[in-house]
């Protein structure tokens, strides 16, 4: 494969971001990637390079889309917050107000905010679904509506890696009559001109990069040797049972397939450009999508001081402490720069996107070489974020 060619631009003073981006190819194995940073809604960094396939035959372009895994959750949560901002959704109301079937199995009192903050205890169905069921929206939602929570709702937080998107997405669908992906496009991304899709149209598939490596059961088994195969009956079956439940009970299949790209799996299969993600977060940072009260609510911690996340703690580096906002990862670990009030979401593989309203800044990095995860343990992203804030500080003197 030929050395990566980096295209795009950096504003004066942001050259060190380009240097960090180039190092990701030369030192950290990036195949294809893009990074965009906006300040006051203007792109001060907009870079892309490398290839969209493992063999290096297709160049990464400005409009290339790539699966960003759980970075998708930030877009999904935004749909709910847009409805809340309009007064159409009460986050403290029971989910069953909007989705009556959800009241089964003792879930009649679970509020919408517990879906957004991973406190509903619905990390998975009680039995694994068959391959392909992830693409059947009605089947997955009916299964989750009938599922008994894995812990008493509200008493703990545990990352709903796959189910988050169906749960929040079905509330959006019941209110609007549109699927989550259709609502995202009509109300947010198309008006902004942002290339972000959940349920990617067939005509866009040719612009999708292939993931080089992906999250699957074999990779999980390699990382966690000795974990028994599902089904699990309780979280006490094995110390890592909750991770296996969250990641394997709704198998999503080949992430490079047309079926996966076309499906709506709002917790994890947004296909986006870095420019598209940064455009959406830039609009948030600039106060253009929701009012100030909603913006504050989105990034207000829903976690108790020192509270562990039942799922993420098993995957995170030593000493990692996770705090959830309403659908967003909060920045107490400074993974999204020095502002503790920045918020966004990362994805398995290494993608990352966030808004920093105090600095009027947004950031997005997207790539196709599977690397780190949602806990910030990826030097490609951390090197870029460090370079962004060093450049910002120098630019502001």
Distance CA 340, CA 49 (A): 30
Classify 346 as helix, strand or coil.
strand
Binned at pLDDT 50, 70 and 90, residue 213 comes out as confident
| Radius of gyration for the alpha carbons in the chain, expressed in angstroms and rounded | 20
Binned at pLDDT 50, 70 and 90, residue 221 comes out as low
- Tell me phi and psi for residue 152, to 5 degrees: -65, 115
Identify the pLDDT of residue 322: 82
Q: Are 78 and 272 in contact (CB under 8 A)?
A: no
Q: What is the mean pLDDT of residues 305-318?
A: 82
**Nearest residue to 361 via CA among 17, 52, 130, 53:** 17
Classify 21 as helix, strand or coil.
helix
pLDDT above 70 (res 218): no
Identify the pLDDT of residue 375: 66
**Nearest residue to 152 via CA among 235, 50, 31, 53:** 235
Of residues 376 and 131, the one with the higher pLDDT is: 131
Identify the pLDDT of residue 130: 93
Binned at pLDDT 50, 70 and 90, residue 160 comes out as very high
Q: Is 70 a catalytic residue?
A: yes
Binned at pLDDT 50, 70 and 90, residue 223 comes out as low
Mean pLDDT, the chain, whole residue set: 94
Of residues 3 and 154, the one with the higher pLDDT is: 154
Binned at pLDDT 50, 70 and 90, residue 310 comes out as very high
Any idea how long the chain is?
A: 397
Strand arrangement, sheet containing 271-272:
66-67, 271-272, 196-197
Residue with tokens 């957004």: 116
pLDDT above 70 (res 77): yes
Binned at pLDDT 50, 70 and 90, residue 368 comes out as very high
pLDDT above 70 (res 215): no
Residue 142 Cα distances to 47, 93, 166, 170, 181, angstroms: 42, 20, 10, 10, 19
Identify the pLDDT of residue 217: 62
Neighbours of 87 (CB within 10 A): 7
pLDDT above 90 (res 73): yes
Token output for 35: 């990074």
pLDDT above 60 (res 1): no
- Tell me phi and psi for residue 242, to 5 degrees: -65, -35
Task: Give domain 63-267+290-351's CATH architecture.
Answer: 3-Layer(aba) Sandwich (3.40)
**Nearest residue to 103 via CA among 146, 70, 138, 137:** 146
**Nearest residue to 63 via CA among 267, 260, 188, 205:** 205
Token output for 249: 């009970």
pLDDT above 60 (res 170): yes
Identify the pLDDT of residue 71: 97
pLDDT digits (tens, 9 = 90+) for 262-286: 999 999 999 999 999 999 999 999 9
How is the chain split into domains, by residue range?
63-267+290-351
pLDDT above 70 (res 17): yes
pLDDT digits (tens, 9 = 90+) for 229-267: 778 888 888 878 888 899 889 999 999 999 999 999 999
Q: What is the mean pLDDT of residues 116-136?
A: 96
**Nearest residue to 171 via CA among 122, 106, 242:** 122
pLDDT above 90 (res 50): yes
Q: What is the mean pLDDT of residues 316-331?
A: 86
Binned at pLDDT 50, 70 and 90, residue 376 comes out as low
Q: pTM above 0.85?
A: yes
pLDDT above 90 (res 108): yes
Identify the pLDDT of residue 195: 98
Lowest mean pLDDT among 143-152, 208-217, 348-357: 208-217
Catalytic residue among 70, 179, 351, 391: 70
């Amino acid at each position: 494969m030929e050395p990566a060619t980096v295209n795009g631009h950096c504003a004066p003073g942001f050259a060190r971001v380009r240097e960090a981006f180039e190092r990701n190819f030369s030192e950290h194995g990036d195949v294809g990637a893009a990074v965009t940073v906006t300040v006051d809604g203007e792109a001060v960094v907009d870079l892309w390079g490398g290839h969209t396939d493992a063999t290096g035959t297709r160049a990464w372009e400005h409009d290339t889309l790539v699966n960003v895994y759980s970075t998708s959750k930030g877009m999904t949560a935004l749909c709910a917050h847009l409805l809340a901002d309009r007064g159409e959704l009460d986050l403290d109301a029971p989910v069953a107000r909007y989705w009556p079937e959800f009241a089964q199995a003792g879930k009649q009192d679970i509020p919408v905010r517990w879906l957004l903050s991973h406190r509903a205890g619905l990390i998975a169905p009680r039995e694994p679904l068959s391959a392909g069921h992830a693409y059947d929206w009605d089947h997955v939602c009916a299964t989750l509506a009938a599922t008994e929570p894995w812990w008493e709702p509200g008493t703990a937080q545990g990352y709903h890696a796959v189910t988050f998107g169906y749960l929040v997405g079905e509330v959006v669908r019941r209110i609007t009559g549109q699927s989550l992906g259709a609502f995202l496009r009509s109300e947010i991304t198309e008006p902004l001109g942002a290339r972000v899709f959940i349920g990617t149209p067939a005509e866009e598939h040719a612009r999708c990069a292939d993931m080089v490596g992906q999250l699957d059961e074999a990779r999980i088994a390699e990382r966690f040797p000795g974990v028994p195969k599902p089904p699990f009956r309780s979280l006490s079956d094995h110390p890592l049972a909750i991770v296996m439940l969250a990641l394997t009970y709704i198998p999503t299949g080949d992430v490079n397939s047309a079926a996966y790209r076309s499906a709506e799996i709002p917790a994890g299969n947004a296909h986006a450009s870095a420019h598209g993600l940064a455009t959406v977060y830039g609009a948030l940072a600039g106060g253009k999508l929701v009012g100030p009260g909603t913006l504050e609510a989105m990034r207000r911690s829903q976690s108790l001081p020192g509270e562990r996340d039942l799922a993420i703690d098993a995957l995170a580096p030593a000493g990692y402490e996770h705090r959830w906002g309403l659908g967003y990862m909060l920045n107490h670990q400074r993974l999204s720069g020095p502002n503790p009030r920045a918020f966004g979401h990362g994805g398995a593989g290494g993608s990352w996107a966030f808004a920093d309203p105090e600095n009027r800044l947004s950031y997005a990095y997207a790539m196709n070489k599977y690397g780190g995860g949602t806990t910030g343990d990826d030097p490609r992203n951390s090197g870029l974020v460090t370079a962004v804030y060093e450049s910002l500080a120098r630019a502001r003197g």
